Amino acid sequence: MCRHLAYLGPPVALGEVLMAPEFSLVRQSWAPRRQRNGTVNADGFGVGWYAPGDPVPGRYRRAVPVWGDETFGELARVVRSGAFLAAVRDATESGADGEAAAAPFKAGPLLFSHNGAVLGWPGSLAPLASALPASVLLSLDARSDSALLWALIRHRAEEGDDLPQAVADTVSDVARSAPGSRLNLLVGDGKTVVATAWGDSLWYLHRPGLRTVVASEPYDDDPAWHEVPDRTLLVATVDEVLTTPLKEPPR
């Protein structure tokens, strides 16, 4: 499992959100409070952020625990952004992909993270993978369930689905092919965050017109945090947060 977070709001130093709060994402790498599977997120981390006037985010990822990377602390102190997505990773299986397997994944203006695991991977998703063009499979970021989920979402979006529909339909397809999978997904484009609660915790903090934070778990005890019900699609901007129930696919 993993912990992840997306921020939309006025430009702030990354560390103000990712490091400074009492129960920050960095602290969640060794002491998460609401993680249902796994205990330590020490198999890599990453952050992607947007700069004014540039729709393509910058990104920093490593295959080491976030607490062991001094460069991240310096970066988080000086880089300011009004939109970013970050994650700390607990790998389902060890692998040789290194930082390529660490979220956020990136394509054009989009950033993606997966908190969870696909049961029966890789065989359970073979039918879905076989429906993708060979060029997509050959360009997977890593040999992981998360990388394939990202490819499935991107393919739907490129075929014309809007991003919330692409995310919701991908969750439905994967849940049907691999029942019991945990599919908490987080996608951002710098203006909108799309997320799913499917098998693990998801929360949001919303101050209309000012800032919105969507995260695996609250980074402080502010009573304004709201828990998202399981089997829910969330679409958020700075101005509003919309939630829609997701149906359990027939088996």
What percent of the chain has a predicted confidence (pLDDT) above 90?
A: 89
pLDDT tens per residue across span 211-235: 999 999 999 999 999 999 999 999 9
pLDDT of residue 1: 64
How far out from the chain centre does Cα 189 lie? 12
pLDDT tens per residue across span 93-129: 666 578 999 999 999 999 999 999 999 999 999 999 9
Q: Is the pLDDT of residue 38 over 90?
A: no
pLDDT of residue 98: 84
Catalytic residue among 2, 25, 110, 148: 2
Mean pLDDT in residue range 17-33: 96
Mean pLDDT of all residues in the chain?
A: 95
Question: Residues near 215 by Cβ (< 8 Å), separated by ≥ 6?
Answer: 3, 4, 5, 6, 25, 202, 203, 204, 205
Lowest mean pLDDT, pick from 40-44, 48-52, 196-200: 40-44
Q: Which domains does the chain have, with CATH numbers?
A: 2-245 (3.60.20.10)
2 assigned to active site: yes
pLDDT of residue 95: 61
Residue 250 buriedness (CB in 10 A; 0-12 / 13-18 / 19+): exposed
pLDDT of residue 249: 83
Question: Residues near 223 by Cβ (< 8 Å), separated by ≥ 6?
Answer: none
Lowest mean pLDDT, pick from 7-11, 19-23, 42-46, 182-186: 42-46
pLDDT tens per residue across span 181-191: 999 999 999 99
Number of Cα atoms under 13 Å in the Cβ half of residue 201: 20
Please state whether beta strands 45-51 and 54-62 pair in parallel, antiparallel, or not at all (unpaired): antiparallel
pLDDT of residue 121: 94
Q: Please measure the distance between the N-terminal and C-terminal CA atoms of the chain and give it in whole angstroms.
A: 25
Q: Tell me phi and psi for residue 84, to 5 degrees.
A: -155, 160
Most distant CA pair in the chain, distance: 50
Distance CA 153, CA 166 (A): 5
